[in-house]
Structure 1
Amino acid sequence: MTSLYPKHRTLMLGTAMALAPMAAFAVPAGGYGDLVEDVAPAVVFIEVTGKQRTADALPDNMPEALRRRFEQQNPQARPQGGLGSGFIISDEGQIVTNHHVVDGAQVVQVTLADGRKFDAQVVGSDPATDIALLSIKAEVDLPYVSFGTSETMRVGDEVVAVGNPFGLSSTVTSGIISAKARDINSGPYDEFIQTDAAINRGNSGGPLFNNEGEVIGVNTAIISPGGGSVGIGFAVPSDLVREVVADLSDDGTVTRGWLGVSIKPMSDEVAQVLGYDTATGAVIESVSKGSPAAEGGLRKGDIVLRFDEAEITTLRDLTRAVAAKNPEDSATITVLRRGKERTFDITIGTLAPQDA
C-alpha cells in the first residue's frame, strides 16, 4: 500500500428498521438513483493525520531547521496521512467508521457530501470488530442513515456500497451478497458479509446498503492480489455493528464477557471415537488459574457442547457466545467429560481490553 492510503485492510493473496418483503430486493426500476440521492448525503469522507515517531520523541524546543533535517533523515517520523469513509447515524453527528481508519490518529477531519468540513472526536474504538465511533458538532441537524437487519439478508440479495475509494468522494458501486458468516482469520468475532460490490482502498468504514437504503454492513477488508477490487470484499454485519456502537456511545469502550479458557477444535479421530458424524464442540485446552471457568469447575479436556441455549459446533460459536454475555451474568455450560454430559453454572467475568 502507498503512504497515501494506508488505512484499508487488504488481505493479499500469497503473502468496510425491518426489511421489506422479498420482492423489494430486485434491482429498482431505473437503477439506484433514488436510493443514492437519499443516502449519499450521510456518507462522509474521513481524513486522518497521525504522527509516527522514532523511539525518542522530538523535544518541543528543537530548532525548526534541525527538526526538518531530522524528519528528512527519518521518514517514519513525518506526519502520516490516511483516508477512509464513514456514515452519520444520528442528526447529532455520530459517525461510524473502521477502527483501522482512525487508529493512531491525532487529527480526524470529516467532509460531508456537500463539502462542509468538521473536526471529529473519536468517541471510542473496538479493534476486535474493527468498528469506531466518531462525533462531530454542527449547528444544524445532519443527514443520517439507519441500520437494517443483516441477519435476514440472503446470499444473492442486491447491495450498494457508497464510499471514497482512492479519495474519490461519493463513489457508488453495486453487487450482491456473495456469502455470509465468513471467517477471514482477522479476529475472534469474524462473521463477515462477503460481497462482489467493488470495494477499494478508501472504502474502509463506508456503508453497505440494502435496497431499502438501510445499512446492513460496514465495509472493512478486501482480498486482492494487487491492491484493487477483484470482487471479494467483506463487511461487518450491521447486527454486530449496532451492538458495538451502542456500547461505544455509552463510555467509549466495549465490555465483553470472559470465561478464561483456551480452546481448540475437536479432532476427527476424537469425533469418531465419541460417535459423532463430524467434529463438533470446543475442546478446552487449558483453564486460566482463578478464572470464571476454573472457579465454575471446568477442566482441561472438557468438550463444550452448549452455552446457555446456543449449540457450540465451532470455536467461534463459543467465543461469540461468551463475549455477548454481560460480566457477572450466569451462564449454563454443558460439556462432555469422559463420555458423559455435565452441566455447570458459571458466573462470567470481564474480558480485559488487551485480551480482546
Structure 2
Amino acid sequence: MKKVLTLVLVSALGGIFTLSAYKLFLEKDDAVVVSTTDSTPSFLPTTNLNALYSAEDKVDFTVAAENTVNAVVHVKNITISTGQMSFQDLFLGRSPQRAQEGTGSGVIINADGYIITNNHVINNSDKLTVTLNNNKTYEAEIVGTDPKTDIALLKIESDEDLPYVTFADSDTAKIGEWVLAVGNPFNLTSTVTAGIISAKARNLDQTGTFLQSFIQTDAAVNPGNSGGALVNTNGELVGINTAISSQTGSYVGYSFAVPSNIARRVIEDIMEYGNVQNGILGISGGALNSKFSEELGINDTEGIYIANVIEDSGADKAGLKEGDIIKEIDNIKVSKFADLTGHIGAKRAGDVVNLTVYKNGSLKTIPVTLTRNETFTMPLVGMVKNAKKEDLKRLNAKNGVKITDLDGQYETYWKKNGVKEGCIITAINDIEINNIDDVKNALKNKSQYEPLRIELINSSGEKERYNFR
C-alpha cells in the first residue's frame, strides 16, 4: 500500500514540475488587450468622423437659408432697342423696335420694399419688374445708382410688409468663414449654394480705372446671381454677388461680391443725399514687396508706399508726404491698395480715419479727414481738378478747372504749345466748365463722332482752342 501511495505522489510531483517548466520556458507570452470606454482609437471609419464633433460644432445652413430665400428677388430688365430699318419701315415711316430682356437678382433690405442690386443688372432699362419668391410680381423704380461700385437701389410698392435681410459688418468677416450665395440663376426661384470666403480685398480691374475691393468666395455663382445675397451662417448680408472669374461665362470656382459695408454706405447716401458722397484719402502709390522696396532703396516690404499726394486733399492737409508708408488704417493692417480702398469705400467725405504711418524713421498715428474727389483724368489732357479762386485769378480766368498732371503720351505736344500744369480749361465742346462734374457731363454727352473741342487759357494767359478728332 505504501508503495502505491509513494508512486502516486512521485507522479503528481513530476507532473507539477513538467507543467511549471513548460509555462516558464516554452510557452510564448501573448499580450492581453483591455478595452475601456476612455480609450481613443487611432483611426475612425469615414462614416463615423462626425462623432468627433458635438452638435454645437456642426455648421447648420438651414436657418440662414430660410431667413434669406424669401428676401431675395428676381429682377427683370426690359430694354427697348431700335433695330435696322427695312425698306418697308422706311416706306411706312415707322421705326423698328424690339424688346431685349435681361435678368438678375436683388435683395430686399427693409420691409418697405427697398431692394439692392447691381447697377449692371438694371442699366439702360425701360421697364423693371421684380418677382418675389412667392411668385408675386411688382413694377420697380430706380431710386439711384453708383456705377463705380456697381450698386443700385430699387423700390417696389407693396400692401404688406416684406421679408428682408439685415446687414452684417463685412470688415469682421474672416477668410475661411462659411457663407451662402442666394440668387436666381437660370431664371429659377431662389437658389442657395454654400462655400467659404476665399479672400478679401480683391481688385479685378487691371486698367486702374476703378479701385475695387471684392470679397472672393468659392460658393457657386452663375449668370442671374448678380445682385443676389452673400450671407453668413446667421443669414446676415455680408456682400452683394457681382462677378465671376470665368472663361466660359459660367461658374468655375471663383466669384466676387461687393462688401456689405460698401453697399450699405452707397445706398444710405442715395437715400439721404440723392447721390453718393464718396470720400477719398488723396494719395497715389503702390503696395510694397521685395522688388519694389529694392527699387525704392528701403527695407520695408509691407504696407502702402505713398508716391504722390493730391493738393488740398485730406492727406495733404494731414501732412502726409511722398515716401511715407501706410501700415494700418483704423487698426486694420494693409498690405495692398485694395485693403486701403476697401475700408475707405465704406466711408464718406467728412469721415475721419486713423492711419498708422512709417514716417521719418518712426511709426506715427495720423488722423485724416476724407474729402470729396475733386480730380478727374481727362482723355488726351491728363488729370484736372477743381480750380481755386487764386488759380483762376492768376490767369485772369472767370471759370474753369486746373490741369495738375499732363497725359504722358501728349505731354510733349501740350508743352510745345505753351500748355503745362496750372493752365485752366474753360470750356469743352462749347459747354462752360466750372468744376470736374461739368467735365464729366460734357464728355458723357459728346457724340461718338463729334470732335473734342477744348478751350483753355495757356501759361501766358492767352485763350486757345484745340480740336481733336
TM-score, normalised with respect to structure 1: 0.73
Distance change >3 Å, CA 304–CA 169, structure 1 → 2: same
1:173 partnered with 2:195: no
1:124 partnered with 2:144: yes
Amino acid at match of 1:41: N
1:129-208 aligned at under 5 Å gives the runs 129-170=149-190, 172-186=191-205, 187-195=210-218, 197-208=219-230
SS at match of 1:45: strand
Match of 1:348 in 2: 370
Match of 2:248 in 1: 226
Distance change >3 Å, CA 64–CA 256, structure 1 → 2: farther
- Displacement of 1:304 after TM fit? 3.0
Match of 1:23 in 2: 56
Q: State the distance in 2 between where 1:308 and 1:173 align.
A: 34
Q: State the distance in 1 between where 2:264 and 2:153 align.
A: 11
Distance change >3 Å, CA 143–CA 341, structure 1 → 2: closer
Amino acid at match of 1:175: A
Question: 1:183-214 deviations in whole A, cap 9, x for unaligned?
Answer: 1424424131412x321111111113334333
Distance change >3 Å, CA 297–CA 43, structure 1 → 2: closer
Match of 1:45 in 2: 74
CA RMSD of aligned residues (A): 3.5
1:110 partnered with 2:168: no
Match of 1:274 in 2: 298
1:243 partnered with 2:276: no
Identify which of 250, 258, 264 aligns with 2:280: 258
Equivalent residues of 2:331, 2:356 under 8 A apart: no
Distance change >3 Å, CA 321–CA 177, structure 1 → 2: closer
Q: State the distance in 2 between where 1:216 and 1:53 align.
A: 40
- Displacement of 1:63 after TM fit? 8.7
SS at match of 2:115: strand
SS at match of 2:95: helix
Distance change >3 Å, CA 175–CA 67, structure 1 → 2: same
Return the index of the structure with the highest Cα Rg. Answer: 2
Distance change >3 Å, CA 267–CA 156, structure 1 → 2: closer
Q: State the distance in 1 between where 2:339 and 2:230 align.
A: 25
- Displacement of 1:99 after TM fit? 1.7
- Displacement of 1:49 after TM fit? 2.2
- Displacement of 1:83 after TM fit? 0.4
Amino acid at match of 1:46: V
Distance change >3 Å, CA 331–CA 89, structure 1 → 2: closer
Distance change >3 Å, CA 326–CA 42, structure 1 → 2: closer
Aligned residues between the structures: 312
1:99 partnered with 2:122: no
Distance change >3 Å, CA 146–CA 343, structure 1 → 2: closer
SS at match of 2:94: helix
Distance change >3 Å, CA 184–CA 267, structure 1 → 2: closer
Q: State the distance in 2 between where 1:114 and 1:191 align.
A: 31
Distance change >3 Å, CA 43–CA 67, structure 1 → 2: same
Distance change >3 Å, CA 322–CA 63, structure 1 → 2: farther
Runs of 5+ consecutive residues of structure 1 not aligned to the other structure: 1-21, 55-61, 72-77
Q: State the distance in 2 between where 1:235 and 1:352 align.
A: 28
Equivalent residues of 1:281, 1:303 under 8 A apart: yes
Equivalent residues of 2:117, 2:227 under 8 A apart: yes
- Displacement of 1:336 after TM fit? 4.2
SS at match of 1:241: helix
Q: State the distance in 2 between where 1:150 and 1:321 align.
A: 10
Amino acid at match of 2:299: G
1:329-340 aligned at under 5 Å gives the runs 329-330=351-352, 333=355, 335-336=357-358, 339=361
Mean Cα deviation higher: 115-124 or 310-319: 310-319
Q: State the distance in 2 between where 1:240 and 1:25 align.
A: 31
Match of 1:17 in 2: none
Question: 1:153-194 deviations in whole A, cap 9, x for unaligned?
Answer: 555544433322122232x23222151305142442413141
SS at match of 2:69: helix
SS at match of 2:126: strand
Match of 1:302 in 2: 324
Q: State the distance in 2 between where 1:92 and 1:128 align.
A: 26
Question: 1:226-278 deviations in whole A, cap 9, x for unaligned?
Answer: 112223222233344333333333234222222322212235256465333xx
